[in-house]
Amino acid sequence: MSSTVEVGSQVEDFTLLDETGTARSLVELLADGPVVLFFYPAALTAGCTAEACHFRDLAAEFAEAGGRPVGVSGDSVDRQQEFAGRHTLGMPLLSDPDGKVRELFGVKRGFSLAPTKRVTFVIAQDRTVLEVVRSELRMNTHADRALAALRAHRG
């Protein structure tokens, strides 16, 4: 049951392991402010690395806008840890091996080399979606548009 999450949708809470093997729930991640949940096809691949590093490079701007980037893919905890470490990403990377959360957000593909669509959701503290960024090819557009949405939200 794949759902489509759009701007204005209310997303349900979920819990996944991060790159250190720690269980993280969406509600807990939202405690400090909005979350920018970016789904990516595969850790350590060129496009995903470019996308994640752009989020990393804008860390100060995200902090200033009150938002926090959190990555999600079907990669294992170990692979997420390698990804985070190799590029000093400094943000939670959640492991969704069975695709439950990807299905929840409607970004899971059937059997393919890229089992996850590259989609970013900006989620307010009340779990309302403020912005949805869908772009498979323009890696920087995810962080850039998410940041713009956070700034607009803060007013």
Largest CA distance in the chain: 42
Q: Alpha-carbon distance 1 to 7, whole Å?
A: 19
In contact, 21 and 99? CB cutoff 8 Å: no
8 Å CB contact between 37 and 121: yes
Catalytic annotation on 53?
Answer: no
Calculate ∠ Cα 123-126-128, nearest 5°.
Answer: 45
Active-site hit among 5, 48, 72, 146: 48
Q: Give catalytic residues, as residue numbers.
A: 48
